[in-house]
Amino acid sequence: MLRNVSYNNKRITNEIQKAVGVSYSFWVRLKMGGIGSPRMHIKSCSNDIKHELVKDNYPNKAYIELRPKGVCIYFRSLLETFSLTIPYYQLTLFNNSGAIKLYGNSSWIEFEHSTKAKTFFDKLILERLNYLEQFSAGMDLNSI
């Protein structure tokens, strides 16, 4: 779900928290070694995201925040900040010769190859598997 998070709107905050959980506390962030990715260049994206990004001429960059039940992908356009919220059960990752593509529901975003982001994506995959393991009840998660 794509939302404008520039302003403090309780309804939007509650929607995001319901979908992906409340942001990790300070101490949990320290234990995890950080929950955010470095800024990454957007290579391509779905039309709903592209509609927001074409409004300005600045380089298109985004970063990802881990949440207990999913991820929030933040990017800016003009003076607005947008969040693409994807729960782990809808999240699909593809590695296309270094470029990472994240799919969620009907939106997707592809990032250019970044060696700095490799450790973050390893952490993201591990968090996603740990979350999905709660609901597996004997299923083989290696096929996911």
> How far is it, in rounded angstroms, from Cα 118 to Cα 1?
25
What domain range is 41 assigned to?
2-132
**46 domain-assigned:** yes
Q: pTM of the prediction?
A: 0.89
CATH number at residue 78: 2.30.29
**144 domain-assigned:** no
**88 domain-assigned:** yes
**137 domain-assigned:** no
**141 domain-assigned:** no
Q: What is the pLDDT of residue 141?
A: 57
**143 domain-assigned:** no
Higher pLDDT among residues 12 and 143, named by residue? 12
- Residue 97's CB is within 10 A of a number of other CB atoms, namely 5
Q: What rounded mean pLDDT belongs to the chain? A: 89
Higher pLDDT among residues 80 and 141, named by residue? 80
**142 domain-assigned:** no
What digits encode the pLDDT tens for the residues 81-130? Answer: 999 999 999 999 998 888 899 998 889 999 998 888 888 999 999 999 99
Q: How is residue 129 written in tokens?
A: 């598997």
Q: How is residue 88 written in tokens?
A: 């782990």
